[in-house]
């Protein structure tokens, strides 16, 4: 999911792998958090994530709303 987030933001944001965190609140779906090292960049940024699997393969999609 981090790779999908990186690709959704590139080239507008130069994210690093450490800027992303995968979180889960109780019984809700997993979500991707983008916390850039530069303060103030993610204020107007919203990430929409989808994760699916088929057997041993996992597929994730991230759409960045700016």
- Check pLDDT > 80 for residue 32: yes
- Check pLDDT > 60 for residue 4: yes
User: How many other C-beta atoms are found inside a 10 Å radius of the C-beta of residue 47?
Assistant: 19
What is the mean pLDDT of the segment spanning 5-32? Answer: 86
- Exposure string (b/e) for 4-17, b if CB count within 10 Å is 16 or more? bbbebbeeebebee
- Check pLDDT > 80 for residue 48: yes
- Check pLDDT > 80 for residue 58: yes
Q: What is the pTM of this model?
A: 0.76
Q: Which of 12-16, 19-23, 28-32, 39-43 has the lowest mean pLDDT?
A: 39-43
């Amino acid at each position: 999911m981090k790779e999908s987030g990186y690709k959704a933001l590139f080239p507008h944001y130069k994210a690093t792998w450490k800027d992303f965190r995968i979180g889960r609140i109780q019984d809700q779906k997993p979500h991707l958090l983008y916390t850039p090292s530069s303060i103030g960049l993610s204020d107007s940024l919203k990430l929409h994530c989808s994760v699916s699997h088929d057997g041993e393969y996992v597929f994730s999609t991230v759409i960045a709303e700016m």
